[in-house]
Amino acid sequence: MGQTLYEKVGGEEAIAKVVDYFYNELVLKDDTVNHFFKNTDMEKQRLHQTKFISYALGGPNTYSGQSMAKAHEGMNIQPEHFNAIARHLHDALAHFGVSEADINEALSKVAALRDDIIYK
């Protein structure tokens, strides 16, 4: 049996580094999406995102946050916002040397959540 994507990228510790880069260097510097995080406890957000991405990539299910629909309720996220976040995730994974095939697999898991995130 092959490695999970979670194992391939180096587990939760490596994913935490990707998440830090994702927010600090990409999302929070992007004026098209950073306003969504203006009143967010970013330390808590990073921890939740690390656990969520770990689970989404085949790691242990230690994510205990809200459902995607509930977490994004009232945010009115538009397709262009969703696409910007997905692009930033792509770039963060690429920054840490994740292969394009593995990035595409990860992004397909994110894309499956699109309907629970946009227009809520």
Residue 78, both tokens:
């538009």
Lowest-confidence segment of 33-37, 80-84, 103-107, 116-120 by average pLDDT: 116-120
- Evaluate whether residue 34 is within a structural domain: yes
- Evaluate whether residue 1 is within a structural domain: no
Number of domains in the chain: 1
Taking only the tens place, the pLDDT of each residue in 26-71 is 999 999 999 999 999 999 999 988 988 888 888 887 767 778 888 8
CATH code for the domain in which residue 41 is found: 1.10.490.10
pTM: 0.89
- Evaluate whether residue 2 is within a structural domain: no
Confidence of residue 1 (pLDDT cuts 50, 70, 90): low
Burial 50-63 (b: 16+ CB within 10 A, else e): bbbbbbbbbbeeeb
Range of the domain at 15: 7-117
Q: What average pLDDT does range 106-116 have in this prediction?
A: 90
